[in-house]
Chains A and B, each alone.
Chain A
Amino acid sequence: MRSICKQSDYNPMRTILILMFLFTLSLSGFAQFKYEKESRVNKRDVPAFARNFVDSLNFSSKVKWYKEIGFSTVSFEAKTRHKGKRYSVEFSEAGSFEDIEIEIKPNEIPSEVYNEISNYLSHKHINYSIEKIQIQYTGDANRILDYFNNIGSGSGLVTNYEIVVAGKMDGTFKMIEYLFSKDGSLLQMTPITSDRTDNIEY
């Protein structure tokens, strides 16, 4: 009798909804992590606007182009060294400008901003090390070009700091990408999916 009652309570629609909910949860779990599959591409396979934009920046060294496939986005990235620094310029899949990132050292961040960032990181992690710092410029593509070609003042551009930190969090060691504003306020925090090391450990 009980089993008959149970059968009559069974609602396939509810099961599908629960499964869909769990699937969505698992996808959103993925989306909280930074994952990028990067592969080298030829310059001719890059949208024309992106090619022309990078040509206009007059980099002194050879530019290498990469296609980055994330969980939900595709982008193009130009990487080069210029005046002793590593530059990366990111574009959407359609070729519109997204940002320029330049690798910098901690002492290139204004000391009051760096102290603000350090305070935040010290509260977040017992021990941490800074793996990489990039200054990030976003904004109107033409203003960016003017600024980097020493024509414009850089007004209207947004400057942030992207910092990759290695530290312990929730009991395990993790790599985390933080985005801080120009004045050191936290804008975004993204854990980076850890890469496997078994083939160079054993």
Chain B
Amino acid sequence: MNTDMKRHLLTLIVLLLLHFNNFAQSTFELGFLPTLNVNKKLPKDWSLNFKTESRQSLIKDDFNYDYLLTDISLAASKKIGINTSVAMGYLMRIDDEGIRNRTIQQITFVKRHTGFRLSHRFLADQTFEKDDETEFRFRYRISSEIPLQGKSLDPKEFFLKLNNEYLNSIQDKNYDLEIRGGAFLGYVLSPKNLIEFGLDNRLDSFIEGNPRNRLWFGLNFYMSF
């Protein structure tokens, strides 16, 4: 092993130790995050997307099942280029405290490469709460979809989906950054239906205060018609 490699290995070990040390001080939550996603194609490159997601906590310090919330959203999307689409939508969040409303605007670029597809999503959302200031978020997500059989994804084939998202949040002059990372194994059931399951890790509040680390078991079902 040459000196350069030793130095890189040492840096990697130190970074990993720091990372785990951070986690040790953070609050940790483990839960279940099933999602149903329905997409309806409309003429002239328009489409409608309906999504519902439920968040359930399984472990927060101790094992303790807790239903947290349900999100229901509807978005209208228009293709403005072969690889580009814009969407606007509304999300309703239902939890113990009541209902919160969120408006969403996004632009997505999907690029097909040999052997995988890459998507860049820029999203802005505004969450309106009854007794709180409006929260503004600016998000960027990169997703890749890698077919595990062949160079393109076809029915009855498995694929791997990897996500990394950065969420900048501003609420009442307070800034926070959330970093999400996800790894999913997917299967194309038919040209209209696909299913994914995997892990979605979300880390926030690490700029000020104790970091909050949440790990979700995700189960996503996509339908299109």
Residues of A at under 8 Å CB distance from B? 36-40, 66, 79, 86, 129, 131, 166-167, 171-175, 195-202
Given contacts A129-B82, A167-B82, A173-B45, contact A201 B119 (CB under 8 A): yes
Closest to A68 in B: B150
Q: Cβ of B214 < 8 Å from any Cβ of A?
A: no
Among B75, B81, B186, point to the contact of A173 (Cβ < 8 A).
B81
Q: Give B105 Cβ to nearest chain A Cβ, in Å.
A: 13
Task: Let me know if B85 and A37 touch, CB within 8 A.
Answer: no
| Residue pair A195, B114 in contact (C-beta under 8 Å) | no
Shortest distance in angstroms between A28's beta carbon and chain B's nearest beta carbon?
Answer: 19
Using CB atoms and an 8 Å cutoff, list the residues of chain B in contact with chain A.
37, 39, 43-45, 49, 51, 75, 77, 79, 81-83, 85, 87, 108, 110, 112, 114, 117, 119, 121, 143-145, 149-155, 157, 161, 186, 191, 194, 196, 220, 222, 224
New A-B pairs, 7, CB < 8 Å, besides A40-B149, A197-B117, A201-B77: A66-B151, A172-B79, A197-B85, A198-B224, A199-B220, A200-B161, A201-B85
In the assembled complex, the CB of A63 is this many whole angstroms from the nearest CB of chain B, namely 14
For the A-B complex, the count of residue pairs with Cβ-Cβ distances under 8 Å equals 82
Residues of A within 8 A of B45 (CB): 171-173
Cross-chain contact A171 with B44 (CB below 8 angstroms): yes
Known: A86-B114, A202-B51. A197 touches B150 (CB 8 A): no
B122 CB to nearest chain A CB (Å):
12
Given A39-B149, A86-B114, A166-B82, are A199 and B154 also a contact pair (CB < 8 Å)?
Answer: no
Q: Is the CB of A195 within 8 A of B121?
A: no
* Separation of A119 and B43 alpha carbons in the complex (Å): 29
Task: Point out the residue from A38, A167, A175, A202 that lies within 8 Å of B49, measured CB to CB.
Answer: A202
The CA of A79 and the CA of B181, in the complex, are separated in Å by 33
Instruction: Compute how far the CA of A195 lies from the CA of B188 in the bound complex, rounded to whole angstroms.
Output: 12
Residues of B within 8 A of A37 (CB): 150, 154-155
Contact B150 A39 (CB under 8 A): yes
